[in-house]
Amino acid sequence: MQATSGFRRAGIVLLAALLLVAAWTPWLDTEARAETQAGLTRALTTFAGARALGAALSVAEGTELSLEPLGIGVTLAPGQALRPINELVDKFADVMLVASVAFGVQLLALKIGGHVAVSVFLTVALLAWLVLAWRGPGTRAGRWMQPLLLLVLLVRFAVPVAAVANEAIYRVFLHQEYDAAYATLQSSVSQVPGNLSQPPAGEGGVMDRLRALQGKFDEIQAGYKKLLEQAGQWSDRIVRLIAIFVLQTVLLPLLFLWMSWRLARALVMAPWRVAREG
């Protein structure tokens, strides 16, 4: 039993030493910043694509045809058929802006956690924690040190580890899905018809002007019909992109934060369990 307890104590000391090495080694922070910056760039690029598509749809939505050349005070607005698609794209752009902000917050958190003061505090807290743990599990200072060390470990390691793991999951499982969805979004801008201008009134008779308006209306209607046929694919790709970024900026960070808390808590409580078993 004593030999087993001794091995466990040695393992705890070794793990604490590894944590100190990781706290003072810049590789994890450098890698985490690069991965988070890649996510931020991806989110901003997608946001710009959404805004470009929204602008094209807004121009097309504003297309109007006036019947005043025929002596009728009526204006047709066929572009209003695009309003539901335009509203979806606007909401998508808002989501992408929030995702960009989330990546920006992660970069700030990485800067805070990677500061030398945090590493110094973690070093002092780890050494004090080991000394207090070896004095006995029942000391008041030892019980007070547990939550403090847990907090410092999370500040120092939770965000970098989550950033690296998050981007690794993206590259393995999500990257092809994103590329396909973004390619569709990017090509959609060129498929939106422009603001087709009102045809000139002309000097012909009423029938000539009516035929001119009818031709323009048929042209607009054909363009919008083709566009609406593609709208289903756009909606599918937009939903997929939203799902990818919600997964990367909300669900996976929360999952990794919970896992980091569980691992850090197990580490902090390990000496107390060894002391009780010994």
Question: At 73, is the pLDDT very low, low, confident or very high (cuts 50, 70, 90)?
Answer: very low
Q: How confident is the model at residue 131 (pLDDT cuts 50, 70, 90)?
A: confident
Q: What is the dihedral of CA 143, 147, 148, 153, to 10 degrees?
A: 130
> In percent, how much of the chain has pLDDT > 90?
44
Give CA–CA dist 98/248, Å, rounded: 12
Contact 120, 152 (CB under 8 A): no
Query: Is a pLDDT exceeding 90 seen at residue 100?
Result: yes
- How many beta carbons lie within 10 A of that of residue 245, not counting itself? 25
Averaged pLDDT, 126-136: 77
Does 183 or 188 have the greater pLDDT score?
Answer: 183
* Greater pLDDT, 225 or 173: 173
Mean pLDDT of 170-196: 82
Q: What is the mean pLDDT of the chain?
A: 80
Q: Is the pLDDT of residue 261 over 90?
A: yes
Is the model's pLDDT at 89 over the cut of 50?
Answer: yes
pLDDT category at 198 given cuts 50, 70, 90 is very low
Please state the pTM of the whole predicted model. 0.82
Rounded distance, CA 12 to CA 178, Å? 42
What per-residue confidence (pLDDT) applies to 66?
Answer: 55
- Residues 6+ away with beta carbon under 8 Å from 18: none
- Structure token digits, residue 188: 């959609």
Dihedrals phi, psi of 240, to nearest 5 degrees: -65, -40
> For the chain, what are the domain ranges?
2-277
DSSP string of 203-229, one letter each residue: SS-HHHHHHHHHHHHHHHHHHHHHHHH
CA distance 203 to 205: 7
Which token pair is 158?
Answer: 């939770």
Mean pLDDT for 53-75 is: 64
